A and B are shown apart, each in its own frame.
Chain A
Amino acid sequence: MTPVEVGSLSVLAIVFLVYVGVYIPVALGLVSFVSIWLISGKSILAFNFLRVAVGDGVTEYPFATIPLFTVMGLLVSRAGLGTDIYTVLNRGFHKLTGGVGMATVGANAVFAAVTGSSIASASVFTRIAVPEMRKLNYDKRFAVGVVAGSSVLGMIIPPSAMLIIYSFVSEQSVGDMFLAGIVPGLILTAAYISWIFISGYLRPSYIGKNIDKAFERPLSLSELMDKTVPIVALIMLVLGGIYTGWLTPVEAGASGALFSVIIAVLRRRMTWRGLWETAIETGHITASILFLIAMASLYSRMLGYAGLPNELDAFLQQRNFGFIEVMIIYVLLMLFLGTILDTASIILIVVPLFITLMETMGMNLVWFGIITVIGAEIGLLTPPLGISCFVIKASLNDPEVSLKDVFFGAFPFAMIMLLVLIFLIAFPVLSIGILS
């Protein structure tokens, strides 16, 4: 077999193994190890690649963003910042048809600016927004769909674990990726809110029949301050610190983590035990993500060794594929993989294959990262492996809402994501304009 054949087979083998449930780092590492052995014909080379991947795989300063932003995200969830911002926005939107839905989207967008995870958003807002919408006679599919759809904002609006992971595999700066995620995240938020607003006029039955408008006592100024100042201050510290260059992303994560502990303690939401549990959870997440990234680096080196990225580049060039064709292939590939793999695996498997091609085409790699993350995130909302939808079903605990309802409800939001993705592909300046 030629190296390119071994490389191609190894990609298929990894997709297959991950699909049947082999641990992702194990699948990436073991298949890469065997492939290098087969290509070189020498075991020593395979063992050396493996040793370097494990020994040096986690020794990068920017990797510290993973534990720091994870701990910050867990702490702000515990401190109840998500609930706060939802309460505030709900007062603002409650007069509109679908107002609770809009408030959920808005609150998700703000909460996303202090957490890096869609799962955190999905579980927090399932518990607060869905019961309220159900109480007010909102359609159940709409209620869960809004939460599922807006939970993906957690991954696009910085800080975001997926942007961090992309920055590692593509060797881009974490700070640049974060800044580039802001405008696309806001566009998606605006698109969701507009969709709910327009549906409220054109097809109110989609949102619900005989919707009650809850009487909401207006918040006093001190309540308003109490619910908004901490989260706004945290966003200014973290994103402001990175944007002005005063803090590196790692330092921003550390400051954000400390600030979140202080907020949680001041609000009496934090006990020693709670803090310890948060740290343990952070450790588990950090260890699994960084081990995954170390193994992905082995995979990426194996692909390079097999010459697969160059071969793919040559193959597509030979057929005179232009920008549009390549993008169509890329998006379709991600949508397909999104139905069987989770977001991180898609990024880790697909990016090393395509990045050489993108470079030779003269594409901006920061922009490419935003496209990749959003494209891979659509899979969070589509069956059979829509992870956001599973989390919502699991944290809802309402037998009247089936997993099918969640998927149906999330579908319009997945379509909006796809439209926004096409828009962002057509206008790269929306992602990277902020960097210049």
Chain B
Amino acid sequence: MMIAISRLYLPFIVVASYANKIGTIVIFFLVATMNYDVVARGFFHAPLNGVVEVVIFSLILIVFLQLPDVVHHNRLTRSDGFLNFIYTRAPSIGDVLSRSINAIGCLFMGLIAWTMWPDFLESIESCHFITAPEFGVQHTGELWTDLKVAFGRCDYFGTPGIFTAPWWPAKLAIFFSVTMCCGIFLFKVMLGPYGDSAASKSDASIAVKGTLT
């Protein structure tokens, strides 16, 4: 039974790890963009337009693409002094406590996913990829032109004329992220906090504390 659950867990781990890799690439992108802007502005008086929007968009991607992997590696911030104490004194109680904590995490991520889904739908429907828009340019039937026009219609953030980006990829990243986190927490409830080999105990007790201090 446990083995079957572990097998089901594997795709989640893999997807989380790939999302994490994409998020990591965004960090390199962020460092590169900022430095380009500093040099272009400081030495050539040619600042990069929309750098603030690019930074904000990158932040959303970094945080939410990495979050499932963070949850998987037990690295979401917590103070686990008491939990470790219980684990050494009464491992079975510690195990129950730990599973309950992950269940709370699962519930909370589920709540966020529940509330983010309509938000995502709204942001993507604003583009009218398929449905006919109420006003403005109508669909022509030609895929490429329609797609370009649709992207222009999306709810956007940024300043028109300088830099705008559609909201929906950000909303999608958030919804994807919290749904994954919800699933990963659920597997941690079923398998126990250290039931999967990838997240070892040592990594949880030292590294987690290290995240913030």
Contacts and interface: CB of A to CB of B under 8 A. Distances in A.
B76 A291 contact: yes
B127 interface: no
Contacts of A288: 70, 75-77, 211-212
Given A20-B83, A283-B27, A380 B213 contact: yes
A425 interface: no
Interface string B51-93: 0100110111011101101100101111111110000000000
B78 A118 contact: no
Given A20-B83, A21-B80, A344-B77, A67 B213 contact: no
A50 B67 contact: no
B90 to A, nearest CB: 14
A21 B80 CA distance: 5
Interface string A259-283: 0000000000000000010011011
Interface residues of A, number: 69
Interface in A362-380: 380
Contacts of A68: 30-31, 34
Interface residues of B, number: 58
Contacts of A344: 77, 212-213
Interface stretch (A90-98, A172-180, A312-320, A383-391): A383-391
Nearest to B83: A21
A64 B53 CA distance: 11
Given A50-B112, A251-B37, A343 B213 contact: yes
A254 B38 contact: yes
A25 B67 CA distance: 12
Given A71-B27, A119-B210, A255-B35, A385 B81 contact: yes
B78 A276 contact: no
B107 interface: yes
B126 interface: no
B201 to A, nearest CB: 13
A420 interface: no
A414 to B, nearest CB: 15
B35 A161 contact: no
* Main SS class of interface, A: helix
A276 B17 CA distance: 14
A390 B81 CA distance: 10
Interface in A41-72: 47, 50-51, 54-55, 58-61, 63-64, 67-68, 71
A58 B30 contact: no
A246 interface: yes
Interface string B106-136: 0110011011100100000000000000000
B212 A343 contact: yes
A380 B213 CA distance: 8
Given A117-B213, A258-B31, A291 B79 contact: no
A313 B178 CA distance: 37
B13 to A, nearest CB: 15
14 contacts: A20-B82, A24-B79, A47-B115, A51-B119, A55-B171, A60-B59, A61-B52, A61-B56, A118-B213, A276-B24, A286-B63, A343-B213, A345-B77, A394-B206
Interface of A: 18-26, 29-30, 33, 47, 50-51, 54-55, 58-61, 63-64, 67-68, 71, 117-119, 155, 161, 246-247, 250-251, 253-255, 257-258, 276, 279-280, 282-292, 294, 340-345, 380, 384-385, 387-388, 390-391, 394
| Ranked 4 nearest A-B pairs via Cβ | A254-B34, A21-B83, A287-B66, A283-B66
Interface of B: 20, 23-24, 27-28, 30-31, 34-35, 37-38, 42, 52, 55-56, 58-60, 62-64, 66-67, 69-70, 73, 75-83, 97-98, 101, 104-105, 107-108, 111-112, 114-116, 119, 157, 171, 174, 178, 206, 209-213
Given A67-B59, A119-B210, A287-B70, 16 more contacts: A18-B79, A21-B80, A21-B82, A22-B104, A26-B76, A30-B104, A50-B112, A58-B59, A67-B27, A255-B38, A279-B28, A283-B69, A285-B211, A289-B77, A340-B79, A344-B212
